Amino acid sequence: LGLAIDRIAKQLGARGSSFAAITGSGPNGALPHHQWARGKRIVPGDMVVLDIGYYFDEGDFATDMTRTVLAGRNAKPKPLQREIYTLVLRAFLRQFFVHARPGTLKACELDRLGRSLLTRAETLGFKFLHGTGHGLGINDHELALTISPKSRVTLRAGYCYSIEPGLYALRESVEEKDAFGVRLEDIVVLQQHHGWLMHTSMAPCPFEERLIDFDQLDLESRERYARYLELSPQVSV
């Protein structure tokens, strides 16, 4: 799958990947940095984590994006798949639509906005295993800036970083046949508008609607979801 994505990216003008594509399906998706497994076939009903990034023009910054999809055009998601995916989506939307006055938003506080929603998944055997973001520049990971519980960096207009909450099945809590992972990631730029800091996505892309349990979305989350879709209505998953 990763090789197929590389071919498509190059047809669209990419001159090379900014990191080895992460393509984890089923239980392999529960490994945040899984790349590929010889002989592993994607089957209908698998959750598939796709984390890709490319360089396009000489001197360009790296790109990075993650979406989790359900394999199989006619596949129906399991209730647990929808519940976990929807939790991650809510966390993503909460972080993406942050509004803060300049000088008041620290990286650890942005991390907490998403992470606080994900702790409830531990009772289901899933856990968040990394920070909710990293800096981006010439390299895919510019670690002078991380969005994590320990980062005290004050985020300022012009900063570029990822927002990427995720949940991953813990092997000791979830049977391997039922294990999967979910991660959603955009690269954002923090910009100032009318005295407020807000995020702009570098490449907005819709989500896997089959995996969204809209009954889990409160009114605020529904409004945020609709606003996000308006950013890129011509793209579909």
Render pLDDT for 46-76 as a digit per residue (tens, 0 to 9).
Answer: 999 999 888 887 667 888 899 999 999 999 9
**Mean pLDDT over the full length of the chain:** 90
Q: Are 31 and 6 in contact (CB under 8 A)?
A: no
Q: What is the dihedral of CA 117, 150, 171, 166, to 10 degrees?
A: 40
pLDDT at residue number 59: 63
pLDDT cut 70: percent of the chain above it: 94
Predicted confidence band of residue 220 (pLDDT cuts 50, 70, 90) = very high
Question: Measuring CA to CA, which residue among 196, 168, 149, 169 is closest to residue 66?
Answer: 168
Predicted confidence band of residue 33 (pLDDT cuts 50, 70, 90) = confident
pLDDT at residue number 236: 42
Residue scoring higher pLDDT (136 or 232): 136
Residue scoring higher pLDDT (209 or 17): 209
Q: Given a cut of 90, is residue 158 above it in pLDDT?
A: yes
pLDDT at residue number 32: 87
pLDDT cut 90: percent of the chain above it: 64
Token pair, residue 85, equals 């995916």
* pTM for the full predicted model: 0.92
Predicted confidence band of residue 234 (pLDDT cuts 50, 70, 90) = low
- For 39-90, give the secondary structure using H, E and C: CCCCCCCCEEEEEECEECCCCCCCCCEEEEEECCCCCCCCHHHHHHHHHHHH
Question: Measuring CA to CA, which residue among 2, 60, 1, 87 is closest to residue 203?
Answer: 60
